[in-house]
Structure 1
Amino acid sequence: MPPGKRFEPKEPVHLDLPKDDPISVEELSKCDGTDPSRPTFVAIKGIVFDVGKNPAYGPEGKYHVFAGKDPSRALATSSLKAEDCIPKWDDLEEKDIKVLDDWYTFFSNRYSIVGKVEG
């Protein structure tokens, strides 16, 4: 399988045009899937994705720990621990940064970009 194809979804996904709206860390934290009146967001490397259509990020989902956060470090190190769900990733080894880049590509092919984390 060609490298670019391995992260494509099995079913076609309609993505909205990417936005670069500033989203504060406080606002991001409110978008954790627990309030049905708010979207569910996950940020990777400061870029915010709307993951609300995937129940895995909802309150009962297996990836809920990532919702409302920038869990770049956790994604890079394949961790589901809440304490690893932090945006600091620039000190990681090259192999972990590659994993994070792969996650970014995976999300980019499935979820609309709605903004950037401020700060």
Structure 2
Amino acid sequence: MTTPLATPLNLTLLILILTLIYLRLRPSSPPSLPAGPPPIVFQTFTPRTLLKYNGTEGAPVYLAVRGKVYDVSSGRNFYGPGGPYENFAGRDATRGLACQSFDEEMLTKDLDGPLDTCEDLTGEQVENLNGWIERFDEKYLVVGKLVAFRKTDFH
């Protein structure tokens, strides 16, 4: 004489065991992703408004090259305070990068004047600048554009 396996007691025990296995193996809470960085809004900067993004007091580090403003905060050790390129933080670095010079004279003195057109650069300097731009485009996020200050902007 054989006894059937599908008795009410066996089915109840099977359901209980499967329920216990499910409760033991299921995730305790739904997985969550870490919070991402705050969104960056594309902005228009003038040399004066860009100046505050020099990495001091926890500020992000931005610099401009040929009118594009890059967030170079991930390279803070190079472009931020104490870094070899700190003169460029919060400034238009176009001429300095083209000429491979970190001197203060490479920076725009008149923050309310016209932007440096860099028309006097040699072919070698332009090629050097294009190499920097290519590197920045690959590595850093463009967060805005640099324009000259216009008195009509502030009535």
How far residue 35 of structure 1 moved from its aligned partner, in angstroms, is 2.6
Q: Which runs of 4+ in 1 moved over 4 A?
A: none
Task: Report the counterpart of residue 14 of structure 2 in structure 1.
Answer: none
For normalisation by structure 2, the TM-score amounts to 0.60
Distance in 1 between the 2:96 and 2:106 partners? 5
Compare relative contact order (CA 8 Å, sep 6+) and give the higher one, 1 or 2.
1
Residue of structure 2 equivalent to 1:6: none
Percent of aligned positions that are identical: 33
2:56 to 20, 34, 39: 34
Instruction: Please say which structure displays the higher CA radius of gyration.
Output: 2
For 2:57 and 2:98, the matched residues in 1 are separated by 27
Task: Tell me the amino acid that sits aligned with residue 137 of structure 2.
Answer: S
User: 134, 140, 146: which is aligned to 1:111?
Assistant: 140
**Alignment partner of 1:52 is 2:81:** no
Aligned length: 101
1:21 CA displacement: 2.4
SS at match of 2:73: coil
Say what the alpha-carbon RMSD is for the aligned residues: 1.7
Alpha-carbon deviation of 1:20? 4.9
SS at 1:53 equivalent: helix
CA contact (8 A) 1:34 1:59 kept: yes
Structure 2 distance, partners of 1:39, 1:51, is 8
Superposition TM-score, scaled by structure 1 size: 0.77
User: How far is 1:59 from its partner?
Assistant: 0.6
Name the aligned partner's letter for residue 63 of structure 2: V
Q: What does the per-residue CA deviation read over 1:35-55, in whole Å, with 9 as the maximum and x for residues that have no partner?
A: 31x211010011000001112
Q: Does 1:24 align with 2:46?
A: yes
Q: Distance in 1 between matches of 2:137 and 2:70?
A: 8
> Is the aligned partner of 1:62 residue 2:84?
yes
**Match for 2:52: what amino acid?**
K
Would you tell me which structure has more helix in proportion to its own residues? 2
Query: Is 1:94 aligned to residue 123 of structure 2?
Result: yes
